[in-house]
Amino acid sequence: ARGQGEALSIVNMVNKMKSDYSIDNSKVFVTGLSAGGYMTAVMMATYPDVFSGGAVMAGGPYKCATSMTAAFSCMSPGTDKSPTEWKTLAKQGYSSYNGTYPTLMVFHGSTDSTVKELNMTELMDQWTAMHDIDQTPDKTETIAGHEVKSYQNASGKTLVKTYRIVGMGHAITVNPGTGEGQGGATGGYSVNKGLHSSYHAADFWGLNNKDQEPPVV
């Protein structure tokens, strides 16, 4: 919840960095894997005034569970709710907020047996509803053999984007190397599926230095 517990602890760390360094408030993002993926959705819902975007890796929607028993059900087989139901839950994160909500990226393995793939669908339902756009992808493409769907507003801006990583279990995808779009190392919960998730997140968020303007410190 906003203002307490782990969510408050995380945002305090962000605020500490913002007080110590000159940081663009519009370029603060959050990402996490597994429990960190669920926590990413928490931060997006409870502190939409702090984060411009979130990348959930093998996580699920905000308030899918409020108990340990329900949490296991969310992970597997997943909890199916309507976009409106998910939106109502997410709005509870900061009920008096009327500003812009963070954009969402989801990276999820098609063979994840720990956090089932349904969670990606429910995340998409929740955050398209939060942005008042529909659940039909405006663009579907294949990148490195993986299905990528983009959900856009009326102006054509992508607000929700999902990456279904074929043949990946409970992990993040990397693409070791030094070429364009490559990076990351394998090990633990990091596997080579020919797509560097962190690169794609940075690219989506405009943190790729393609504008050739050096950052101001």
Question: Annotated catalytic sites, by residue?
Answer: 34
DSSP 8-state secondary structure symbol assigned to residue 63? T
Rg (CA), the chain: 17
Q: In sequence order, what are the residues at sequence separation of 6 or more whose Cβ sits closer than 8 angstroms to the Cβ of residue 200?
A: 105, 107, 143, 163, 181
Contact 35, 10 (CB under 8 A): no
Where are the strands (E) in the chain, listed by range?
A: 29-33, 53-57, 103-109, 139-143, 146-152, 158-165, 172-174, 190-192
Contact status, residue 60 vs residue 119, Cβ threshold 8 Å:
yes
- What's the CA gap between 190 and 7, in Å, rounded? 25
